[in-house]
Structure 1
């Protein structure tokens, strides 16, 4: 029944989006922008987090939001906003990306990142780098300064040196908390899922005043990862995707399942075809809903993100996504007890949240 209702609402939205009344209602609206970020999703327990620790996480999320907001509010690009938001998260040892990244089985901090521009679907990604302070910036250099999309390990670092990036020593990335996690995993013969209750990844998605979207994701992977394991974060289409025709997505979670579903592109593709395929004959149905167009549009987008995350859950995977749409909706969807997240929009929304019961984009319309 729920899926049938979502299909009706989606069809209604498509008809509305091309209807003259919809266009007229938005003609005089000033160009809007929006930004959403995440810092990982997982089994988070409010009772296990002290007020001081929570305040630290919230401050870190707000710092990232403020950095991205400064770009977007001044008319800057979605791409620049995504990078500006992710860099402080990579530099913050609370998050598993850049500084504070988890250790591999061999005691190394290996970093992955990807970024994508919705204007032309250009993309860049790196995996297995160990000397790059901000992998998200190197991923963007792959996008703009190389003929490739994805570079790995030593080759990626050689490219970084040619581009003028400094070599960052391993002490910058290593933290005692992450080292203890690896030691506990080995001593107690635990899995990465047991030792890490949170899938550590950071990401950002943005819509700028020109209507362009971008997405970026950065991670240290999973504690104790072996054999050159690569998760979804650096994989375009799984952990990161942006397309001006549909949306921008950044994911966090059990990467193997996000790769199998192709989560980021799957969400964008479903939204794009939703925009393309509905007939006009459902306008009467839309009118009967007695909801503002903006609310219907948000419900459709949220429903699509939730449906894809439900598919991940059905396969056995956990995690979440952040999404921005061409209409400026900044959304979250996660199938875990919590996700470090935040959003800010030109409509005046500014919020950060951690646990499932906190205020989220699916609870509060942003228009």
Structure 2
């Protein structure tokens, strides 16, 4: 069932990430920090301009229509996929066999029949996130049997053990949520998406990481336990085991998460991670609640990113988005005033929505269904998504606990999440909007997480570490 809050317009919000793991200030040069800083700020700024630019068409209103959450989030991820600094698309990591196998997913809080989809085992799709988006957009037609992109060779029933994508019988995505390898690539071809030679994904930096990690693994038996390393993780070097992603809220209050990755450095060929797996690496949901169960917590405990600098715990950007949702009765698009004095919980009904994208050690995310668990705690436990996120991805949370005594030695449990939570509180009797809240969310338990967002004042902000370390990073102010 879809819960559709009656809102006229919402101030769009955006946050992106580019991976998380054993990222430490002492092993990152000022030049490398500056590269990440410029890339993250450029991508989030370009996406901000895109999501705030109206599109005019014959079907749009005279004021134009703004991009949807799905369009915004996938726009950002395409930029991340095209940037070799990040582990997705051009710049994806290699498997142990020296192959690039890519994965991607999208999910929306409402508005599409399939809600969420994933693709995996891709070797030729230039931008995997666009394949996931197409599958989501075609969902209604697929589920009702009205989609037929063309049969390849309907008179044949078998093509041998390793058919090419052109040979497979793929009329559409059908009712499927997750597709792998040649089948997914055949679908991409029929959607008209760009396919490339596998060499497109190669970068010298990722290849060198691949070779160094394999060599390190050969000698690990001779290393002391405190410096344990494998081909997928090292205590001395950041080997990408995370993903790229974006979470966006559009002017209709819909939230979308989009995630894309090359997987873990030197993973087994054929390995499927959390990124395409619904509930493990991504999730989006909207639901209704009686009263306003998180209201008192929200008002009493939330703080801005500035107050977070240098402190442990979740990083949270709050303010303008708290007044982002608007009721039909409000006179101005981006102003909010309470319609009445405080009401009792029994007089209220609340619509909450959330979407999150994870990054880090994907096998750990899979073991605890990490991202869906966050939203489940928030929905069924009556707490804010901020608090639920801290319990899973924060320091000492369930992701870290899942590693047991291997924490800090194998890369297990390391990671973080970004997200957005929206809240619309209404008077039960009249249906009028009483209060609105919206939050940009981010938390991680490891050395760092590459991330950027648009703050309350409309400015691009970025962090890699815990805030204070970023402010003190050598060369940062001049970069």
After TM superposition, is the score higher than 0.5? yes
Change (3 A) 1:76 1:244: farther
Equivalent residues of 1:205, 1:215 under 8 A apart: yes
Equivalent residues of 1:73, 1:346 under 8 A apart: no
How far 1:328 moved relative to its partner? 2.4
Which structure 2 segments of 5+ residues have no match?
A: 1-5, 54-65, 139-173, 218-229, 288-352, 404-412, 423-436, 471-479
Q: In the alignment, which residue of structure 1 is the partner of 2:107?
A: 116
What is the correspondence of 1:149-188 to structure 2 with a 5 Å cutoff? 149-188=177-216
Q: In the alignment, which residue of structure 2 is the partner of 1:131?
A: 124
> Mean Cα displacement is larger for which, 142-151 or 121-130?
142-151
How far 1:28 moved relative to its partner? 11
Equivalent residues of 2:115, 2:136 under 8 A apart: yes
Change (3 A) 1:179 1:198: closer
Q: Which runs of 4+ in 1 moved over 4 A?
A: 27-30
| TM-score, L = length of structure 2 | 0.61
Q: Distance in 2 between matches of 1:130 and 1:29?
A: 42
Q: In the alignment, which residue of structure 1 is the partner of 2:231?
A: 191
Matched, 1:343 2:427: no
Q: Could you tell me which of 240, 243, 263 is aligned with 1:221?
A: 263
> Mean Cα displacement is larger for which, 239-248 or 312-321?
239-248
Change (3 A) 1:50 1:164: same
What is the correspondence of 1:329-340 to structure 2 with a 5 Å cutoff? 329-340=439-450
Equivalent residues of 2:209, 2:239 under 8 A apart: no
Q: In the alignment, which residue of structure 2 is the partner of 1:236?
A: 278
Q: In the alignment, which residue of structure 2 is the partner of 1:45?
A: 24
- Secondary structure of 2:263 counterpart: coil
Q: Distance in 2 between matches of 1:30 and 1:273?
A: 28
Root-mean-square deviation (Å): 2.2
Equivalent residues of 1:33, 1:346 under 8 A apart: no
How far 1:329 moved relative to its partner? 0.7
What is the correspondence of 1:312-327 to structure 2 with a 5 Å cutoff? 312-316=399-403, 317-326=413-422, 327=437
Equivalent residues of 2:44, 2:453 under 8 A apart: yes
| TM-score, L = length of structure 1 | 0.79
Change (3 A) 1:336 1:29: farther
Quick check: which has more Rg, 1 or 2?
A: 2
Q: Could you tell me which of 41, 44, 47 is aligned with 1:68?
A: 47
Which structure 1 segments of 5+ residues have no match?
A: 1-26, 276-298, 361-367
- Secondary structure of 1:124 counterpart: strand
Equivalent residues of 2:87, 2:263 under 8 A apart: yes
Equivalent residues of 1:248, 1:324 under 8 A apart: yes
Q: Distance in 1 between matches of 2:76 and 2:185?
A: 23
What is the correspondence of 1:346-361 to structure 2 with a 5 Å cutoff? 347-358=457-468
Q: Could you tell me which of 275, 293, 303 is aligned with 2:387?
A: 303
Q: Distance in 1 between matches of 2:8 and 2:466?
A: 33
Q: Distance in 2 between matches of 1:169 and 1:67?
A: 28
Q: Distance in 2 between matches of 1:54 and 1:211?
A: 34
Matched, 1:264 2:371: yes
Q: Distance in 1 between matches of 2:9 and 2:109?
A: 21
Q: Distance in 1 between matches of 2:257 and 2:7?
A: 28
Deviations 1:66-88 (A, max 9, x none): 23312432432111110011111
Q: In the alignment, which residue of structure 1 is the partner of 2:90?
A: 99
Change (3 A) 1:49 1:143: same
Q: In the alignment, which residue of structure 1 is the partner of 2:38?
A: 59
> Mean Cα displacement is larger for which, 29-38 or 300-309?
29-38
How far 1:171 moved relative to its partner? 2.1
Q: In the alignment, which residue of structure 2 is the partner of 1:24?
A: none
Q: In the alignment, which residue of structure 2 is the partner of 1:6?
A: none
Equivalent residues of 1:200, 1:221 under 8 A apart: yes
How far 1:355 moved relative to its partner? 1.1
